[in-house]
Amino acid sequence: MTGGAVSRLAYILSIWFGCGRVPVAPGTAGTVGALPLYLLLAPSGPWAVAAAAVVMTVVGIWASSIVAANLGAKDPQIICIDEVAGVLVALTAAPPGWRGTLAGFVLFRIFDQVKPWPARAAERLPGGWGIVLDDVAAGLWAALLLVLARFAGWL
């Protein structure tokens, strides 16, 4: 990785303050690492969570583009800010409480692994765009299921 404060900041954010350095399942660790931010914002309502999701998406594209270029890899496994953005998208539709949070977490992880359309297509975008937007798409699928589950009275 090249030197400089910008590269260091991009690295710290892209690995979400160390979550991406977890040797097993860094994506899951990044998703867990997003929960304190969600729990801080959730009392302010879904618009606060949605705003954070947008900020994390923009910052994630920027940071992961720099880190991926510095490491010479398309989608380094240590980058997990994309999971932060994606799970926040999912959790915008979660009802308050632990059941909604758990449902959003699990649904996001499933869709992040399965990568239904357009997530698989987004993954092919260049740089940070592909790194982050596939997770945002997975988060949108999870949010859709959360909305349906709430409408059906399951949550």
Q: Using the predicted structure, report yes or no on whether residue 136 has a pLDDT greater than 90.
A: yes
Mean pLDDT, rounded, for 43-50: 97
Question: What is d(CA 78, CA 84) in angstroms, rounded to the nearest whole number?
Answer: 13
Q: Using the predicted structure, report yes or no on whether residue 1 has a pLDDT greater than 60.
A: no
pLDDT of residue 100: 96
pLDDT of residue 155: 84
* pTM of the predicted structure, to 2 decimals: 0.94
Report which of 36, 22, 130 is spatially closest to residue 88, judged by C-alpha positions. Answer: 36
Per the prediction, the chain carries an average pLDDT of 95
pLDDT in tens, 10-28: 999 999 999 999 999 999 9
Count the neighbouring beta carbons within 10 Å of the beta carbon of residue 65. 20
